[in-house]
Amino acid sequence: MDIEILKIGEVIEVRGQKVRAKVYKDKNESNLNYCGEVIKNVSVGGFVKIRKGFQDIIGKIEGEFTLLNPNKQVIYYDKEEQIHRVIEISLIGYMDRQDRFHRGLSELPLISNYVYILSEEEIQSVFAFSANNASTITIGEIIGYNKYKLKIGVQSLFASHIGIFGNTGSGKSNTLAKIYKELFDIYKESEVFKNSSKFLIIDFNGEYENTISNVNKKVYHLSTRRGEELFPIDKKAIEDLEFWSIILEATEKTQQPFLKKCIQKFSASVQNNSILNEIREMINSIYDYADKFSTLKKYYKEILSLGFDNCSAEVDNLFGKLAYHSTSRKLYIIDQANIYFNSEDDFKHNQYVINLLQVITQDNLKYKDEEENIDEWDRFEFIVKLQYANDVARGYINEEHIAPLLRRLDNRLLEIRKIFKLDNADVIDENLQIISLVEVNIEMRKIIPMIVCKRAYDFHKLQENQSSSLFIIVDEAHNILSKQSDRESSMWKDYRLELFEEIIKEGRKFGVFLTISSQRPSDISETIISQLHNYFLHRLVNNEDIKAIGRSVSFLDGASFEMIPILPQGGCIMTGTACNFPVLIKVDKLEEKYQPQSHTINLEALWSVSEGEN
């Protein structure tokens, strides 16, 4: 193709990376014709080259405007001749001698250098974001260059942290599903891929179950209502302070030290006689700590019910009739005589106390070393409440600080029994695990992803095989990465964010990569967003969300940033380390059977009346 046909103007101003060029008047049409071929002319978002000697410098058009000719000596017969069309160009790279595009600049153009439309071969080179022999995935059409598909290298995209942002209905769910379905389609037959790479999807709305098929996957439909399907975690989790700190939202200064003591007692080789002796001592010391009886009565009963069989009648007889008289500061038995205990011996020789101590035996103890199928959740609750009762009675802890922890324990144990089961190891056996949280309540929606992601991350770090990889994919990430939640304390919020900030800062060197998708980037920690490597930006209309992207994403140019609120459905701007510059694309829509379950309901079809109805 004659190079002169592609010449459309010349440089009139150079200010660093920003260049302005005057467009020739005969090149102001939207398309140019040459030898029967239609060539796309220059427009905002398009690409041009500036020839400086033997160097071809590539730039992206970010804007255009008109400029009056400053030469006042010329007499114009046509008013249009006084106006020049000027395009603003942002320089992005250059072509080498082999016509390969390179990001970055080694020199700048000069005034009067000619500006050209890119040839077909040059366009292909500019959009070649991977080496010729590299594996690639196809994401969609390049808007403005519709005959070209955006192909991104597998290594450059997936060996990175990815962010997908966009309002509801903008197409972000399809984009998330598309990129990972493309990956699995390439490698699903590879045994190395199946064995060395694990994928964990946190699916808040149950959208992605059918997106990836014909692979080794397991879908967990977790529910805090039904509790029919349980997620396996290592038995050692119950001895992990961080696990319980997350579950119980334990404060660092007061509640975590108490939990640490409980875990140490739980983890110790339990000598049954010592537990028996401790329980007996607890009952006998009720008299010594009579002023705490009203507070601890509930826990005494729960401890005995959790720890022993065949003692309910004796427990009810004693604690149903034993009371504390605040005026006389004495314990007494509520009956016709109202027997008051004036000494420890009086208390120990009471028949109700004697009867209870007689059933606190080795045979009735639930947690024996040789006992199989012990409920470890019950055993942990037993130890915690025993520790609490003893510490409160002796004044070792402040009841006001620890009592909220015990109340949360009661509530959370009911929920975690419906969510988790204790297994032998934290191993993701399947190539792909999807955890659906659509039936999980709000509190556990924050807790479950933290536990699952942290344990998967910690387990992966300890693996001797450093050639393995773990991919954590979180849809609707603002649910757990929000920095503005009012449902929790600032300490707990900081802990939650620090966990994922550690993954995104340190995970890459361990082969752990994070993908997040969200409709509210302004809610997410800017530290997390700024540490991502590749972005798919769909339409965002909220001003705070747009500002958050502008502050955190360093790969955007001005023209691309201005496009964010007016992108079409399915359209997005891809930018980051996997591509040389921001690219506007139309993401290919998946086949209906693979599409995420995130469609907007068709109310017109729902409400329409069929012909046979009245």
Q: Which of 51-60, 145-154, 464-473, 478-487 has the lowest mean pLDDT?
A: 478-487
- % of the chain surpassing 90 pLDDT: 48
Strand pairing class (469-474; 512-518): parallel
pLDDT confidence bin for 315, thresholds 50/70/90: very high
Sign of the dihedral defined by the CA atoms of residues 89, 90, 95, 100, in that order: negative
> Which residues touch 68 (CB under 8 Å, ≥6 apart)?
82, 83, 84
Two structure tokens written together for 569: 């459905």
pLDDT at res. 614:
46
Query: What does 177-212 look like in DSSP terms, one character per residue?
Result: HHHHHHHHHHHTT-HHHHHHEEEEEEETTS--TTTS
At 187-232, the pLDDT tens digits run 988 899 988 899 999 999 999 988 887 778 899 999 998 888 999 9
* Whether pLDDT at 98 is above 70: yes
* Secondary structure (3-state) at 364: coil
Residue 382 near residue 367, CB atoms below 8 Å: yes
At 319-339, the pLDDT tens digits run 999 999 888 899 998 875 778
* Whether pLDDT at 349 is above 50: yes
Q: Look at residues 188, 187, 166, 189 and name the one whose alpha carbon lies nearest to residue 176.
A: 166
Residue 13 near residue 20, CB atoms below 8 Å: yes
At 145-190, the pLDDT tens digits run 888 889 999 999 999 999 999 999 899 999 999 999 999 999 988 8
Give the integer Cα–Cα distance in Å for 538 and 543: 14
At 498-548, the pLDDT tens digits run 888 999 999 888 999 999 999 999 999 888 999 999 999 999 999 999 999
At 377-419, the pLDDT tens digits run 999 999 999 999 999 999 999 989 999 999 999 999 999 999 9
pLDDT at res. 43:
86
Q: Which of 54-58, 293-297, 483-487, 557-561 has the lowest mean pLDDT?
A: 483-487
At 409-464, the pLDDT tens digits run 999 999 999 999 988 765 677 889 999 999 999 889 988 998 999 888 988 888 76
Strand pairing class (432-439; 217-223): parallel
pLDDT at res. 545:
93
Q: Alpha carbon of 590 to those of 170, 175, 184, 472, 526: distances in Å?
A: 15, 9, 14, 22, 31
Q: Where are the domains of the chain?
A: 3-127, 151-213+461-487+500-595, 241-417
* Whether pLDDT at 492 is above 60: yes
Give the integer Cα–Cα distance in Å for 122 and 104: 16
* Whether pLDDT at 1 is above 60: no
Tell me which CATH code domain 151-213+461-487+500-595 carries.
3.40.50.300
